[in-house]
Chains A and B, each alone.
Chain A
């Protein structure tokens, strides 16, 4: 059985990138990783189907040797549908997580943290949240607050109120974040 080298390399790269992304904390990257791994697996099934050939329709004067193997294609179609359903669920989960925490990062497991802090002699350290590599944690907050500002300024402009009233709570908010430092 000869196989296409290009397909093989593409599959390997997709697996590598997919597994790398699956190991990330950010749920959005996990989703992307899952999609890559899923499609890499589909490519693997395709490769296992052997050489490409003509459409496997009986009765067009095509001999069995010239046809491509139809079973891997059926398997891939099913796998695609399953991947689609699971990624829809994951997106709903990410949205829900974002609604709760404004963040799609996975927190440290509480049991692990407790174990580190507790009897065992391992130095206590927690995840450094300032360098968290979430896909839209900080930016999302900014986006939401500017959206709020726009709404407010529209309302206030209509009411001809001073802009400083709006600015105050905003600066206070960002100010209070800087205070401890």
Chain B
């Protein structure tokens, strides 16, 4: 079964190479890309079943044993993340195929889109299965370089302007990450995560806090945690809809995944947990307040993305099994729901010709299907029972109440308040874009629309375009998956609890990498 582990990275990488070779045959490229991601999804599912029933799988690359060679480790958390991200990547790929077929690919130069997309997938999967801090860095770099290309796709002025913000911020965070790896190597003499976790205990506490902070800042930029989150709402909304959807769903979650690993395996101590809780609080509140002030749906969703990262950080910051388990469940829920909402906003943009709630109206009558595809994930993100958003938040609040400190209760209050703000922002979109009759849009006045700011350079109402069946089907499939998360929340939550238990104390991870013990 160990042989399946490297395939998670190899298949999309080889797929990318073949898609590049097949640059002149768009149809073949699509087949290759869909096939590669479907295979990864299947492998991920097998890995999840195997890992869940038995110990973590470890692959020693090139046959060099652990501290000398590079190891790839798949435990429950990694397998879960691989499955969810493969499913999301596949759905978004179908969506972009539908969009490309409808538009004659004028927005996405087709010959590079599919290879770059697969490289992005490679980077994401590499980061999830890396058992070595430097390999994690390489995974980050692979996905970042692919994302640089995707965010500036087409090279228009607005996208280059937005891309520069994103790229410069990412470069800084990568440099910081690499510097932290160098410092950790200087402190403990290894970059193998399992070995680091064993040796870190011998390092003086003040040095530990320094290294810990450096890593958290580097990952915090990638995960868009307050106060390192301001690049995100500026850069994401200008990219094409499928690219924004996959960035919003996955890239920040790779940062969150790295934070979970840092907090549980590399630095399991509680030194920085109170600081992280304050950061989680500010991320939630500031992000939600930003979302309330936006008129543009894509910008609004980018702000809710930032705000909900705060919930995940809250779960990690608790430093308990319950907290980590709830955070893992919330990550899975949020990847699916946030991607679905961005895909739905892509459909709204095509159908209504705009993404501003000042311009849109009458969409419920014009297209009840799109309305449903927006409404369900919107309620889910807002945390309305019985959806998975409610379950995730409930689990997080329970874990906080278990800890019982005043700060934990403050965070419960803030979390409830922020979910109301999220719901308010999304229901305002619903009222304006879907419920308001199209005839009323011209001279409509409502307190709901006072003091909301438009996106910069917001295009005037464009002509509406068709919404191809494939795009609607991909969004619909994501909505079905998100409902599936609700229906099967029991087994899923049990799974994320087991993943959380895995991470309690790094011993299980260490034993998997060093079955014969470690000196």
Contact = CB atoms under 8 A, between A and B. Distances in A.
Interface of A: 1, 22, 27, 30, 34, 37-38, 41, 44-45, 47-49, 71-72, 75, 78-79, 82, 85-86, 89-90, 93, 96-97, 100-101, 106-107, 109-111, 113-115, 118-119
Given A34-B171, A89-B145, A89-B148, A75 B456 contact: no
Contact of B163 (A38, A45, A93, A101): A93
Contacts of B138: 78, 82
Contacts of A90: 167
Contact of A93 (B152, B182, B185, B456): B152
Given A48-B185, A93-B152, A97-B160, A75 B191 contact: yes
A118 B161 contact: no
Contact of A109 (B148, B160, B178, B234): B234
Contacts of A114: 453-454, 456
Interface residues of B, number: 34
Nearest to A37: B175
A37 B173 CA distance: 11
Given A30-B168, A71-B191, A48 B145 contact: no
B179 interface: yes
Interface string B386-429: 00000000000000000000000000000000000000000000
Interface string B117-149: 000000000000000001000100100010011
Interface of B: 134, 138, 141, 145, 148-149, 152, 155, 157, 160-161, 163-165, 167-168, 171-172, 175, 178-179, 181-183, 185-186, 191, 234, 451, 453-457
A86 B175 CA distance: 12
B194 to A, nearest CB: 16
A106 B163 CA distance: 11
A47 B179 CA distance: 11
Contacts of B181: 45, 75
Contacts of A45: 178, 181-182, 185
B338 to A, nearest CB: 21
28 contacts: A22-B171, A34-B171, A41-B178, A45-B181, A45-B185, A48-B183, A49-B185, A71-B191, A72-B185, A78-B134, A78-B138, A82-B138, A82-B141, A82-B145, A86-B141, A86-B148, A89-B148, A93-B148, A93-B152, A96-B152, A96-B160, A97-B160, A97-B164, A100-B160, A109-B165, A111-B456, A114-B453, A118-B453
A118 B456 CA distance: 13
Contacts of A93: 148, 152, 160, 163-164, 167
A49 B185 CA distance: 8
A41 B457 CA distance: 38
A85 B234 contact: no
Contacts of A109: 165, 234, 456
A79 B178 contact: yes
A41 B456 contact: no
Contact of B179 (A30, A44, A96, A97): A44
A89 B149 contact: yes
Contacts of B163: 93
Contacts of A47: 182, 186
A49 B322 CA distance: 39
B303 to A, nearest CB: 12
Nearest to A79: B178
Contacts of A1: 186
A118 B454 CA distance: 11
A86 B182 contact: no
B456 A22 contact: no
Contacts of A78: 134, 138
Contacts of A34: 171, 175
Contacts of B455: 111
Contacts of A72: 182, 185
Contacts of B172: 22, 37
A109 B204 CA distance: 44
A86 B148 CA distance: 9
A45 B149 CA distance: 28
A22 B160 contact: no
A111 B161 CA distance: 12
Nearest to A3: B186
B23 to A, nearest CB: 18
A97 B138 CA distance: 28
Nearest to B162: A109
A48 B160 contact: no
